[in-house]
Amino acid sequence: MENGRIRVRFVPSPTGLLHVGNARTALFNWLFARHHGGDFILRIEDTDTELTDPRFEKALVSDLRWLGLDWDEGPNEPGTRGAGKGQHGPYRQSDRLHLYADYAAKLLKEEKAYRCFCTIEELEAERKALAERNMPQVYSGRCRSLTPKVIKRNLAAGIPFAIRLKIGEEPLRFHDMVRGDVEFQADAVSDPILVRSGTEADPGTPVYNFVVTVDDALMGISHVIRGDDHLPNTPKQVAIYEAFGWEIPIFAHLSNVTGLDRERLAKRQGATSIATFREMGYLPEALVNYLALLGWGPENTKRETLTLQELVKNFSLERISPSPAAFNFDKLNTLNRHYLKLSSPVRLAALSWEYFGGLLPEKDHASDEVLVWFVHLLQMFVPTVDHLDQLTAKALFIFGFDPDIARARQENANVLAADSARMVLAELADRVRAHSIPVTAEIFQQWLQEIEKATGAKDKNLFQPICIALTGAPSGPELGRLVPVIEHGSTLNLGVPTVRQRVEKFVGV
């Protein structure tokens, strides 16, 4: 901790897309920092060179920004090198390898760590023997007692070695703000590897527990807020802190995010990556609001719609639950519908345009008149969707539909089989034939009144056949709003059939 200042970090690995659990971890760190006026640091864990992909780093940076999570310190833009923004860089582990080498050498020199020359085969045999005796499968520490002479001879011969930390006999303890005081027995931790097997000429790669501890200490991290899958790593990191004499941060291990079946959230249960939620047309404020409520809740209120500013004001680690948090898509959809209603029509049009590819011109080439028409179209359909990618299916009939397929649908066929439906459509067709100018909402309303009077059809017996003829379904948008959108759209070279064209084609005039 630097001068008593709250400093937290989010340390993703660019080996895949940012998923729900990691996004919640980032959010909780960000909320905690902003609540206390502290620092939120982004650090990239990219030492796994086989799996690291710059595309994933670019994607996760984009996702964090989309969620509205900014950082006070962090790396340069993906694809560029350098120290980054802040006084504690570099903020990519791949740029800090020299630091890890120096600190590993320091522990060796102080005899707090040692070289382990055991081969993979020897370690596997040791583990197998322990398993057969139903004993904990931890390293025996046999290389601890190697004499300087043996070590020197092995190094001269170029025998590969890992670097292990010496664990003492005392239990390893730390305080967790979610789980309270936690203790691990030393013999259950064993002597953890700090640096993987390598030689003096070609050193091995430092492991996660070592580098993350060095980085957190050097960057003055005061609180480590992360998923509880890291709980088994914590005693090893505490031991590293103690070996260097560094102040141990306060930990907060967040419970898993699960599906409603209480199993770990998986793709089979729906979207799991932030990129997928973006593609589906969820709003960032809805997703942030929902993620914040996964395992946390504000004090003295049952409200579930909270702005980012309200979340910052109310957030505290003390109110995080240690129980797993079940991801409920219905609740997320409810929140998203709420924020869709609050969004401006212009914003929704900009976000929804891409879902109508092939039906609309390129947005940059669309006329103002088309843009205005699209806004009116969306106002009919946005209240009926959970997320924006559902709009296309809802509004597709605006651009035309196949009357034969519509008539064949059982639901439609049942409606159209009634004598009243045939009379209603016949009356509608008569009026269409006699009308040569665009149909306004007022004209169409007059037609409805006349058709009702002529046929005696009321309510669904009146509206369902007409709705089928115009939309291909027995229910849909309110006709007074739909008709002007259809008629206006037909004048914009978008291939939108007019009311007359729809009725003529459906009825066969």
Active site amino acids: 267
Residues ≥6 apart with Cβ < 8 Å to 355: 281, 388, 389, 391, 392
Q: Give the Cα separation of 161 and 138 in Å (integer).
A: 18
Residues ≥6 apart with Cβ < 8 Å to 325: 255, 256, 257, 258, 294, 295
Q: Give the Cα separation of 97 and 246 in Å (integer).
A: 20
What is residue 46's three-state secondary structure? coil
Q: Give the Cα separation of 187 and 133 in Å (integer).
A: 16
Q: Give the Cα separation of 409 and 280 in Å (integer).
A: 28
Contact 246, 306 (CB under 8 A): no
Q: Is residue 316 exposed (0-12), middle (13-18) or buried (19+ Cβ within 10 Å)?
A: middle
Residues ≥6 apart with Cβ < 8 Å to 175: 181, 182, 250, 251
| Range list of H helices, 53-96 | 54-67
Contact 23, 63 (CB under 8 A): yes
Contact 391, 382 (CB under 8 A): yes
Contact 161, 115 (CB under 8 A): yes
Phi, psi of 7, rounded to the nearest 5 degrees: -140, 120
Question: Rounded to a whole number, what is the largest CA-CA distance in the chain?
Answer: 110
Contact 166, 136 (CB under 8 A): no
Q: Give the Cα separation of 495 and 61 in Å (integer).
A: 40
Q: Is residue 196 exposed (0-12), middle (13-18) or buried (19+ Cβ within 10 Å)?
A: middle
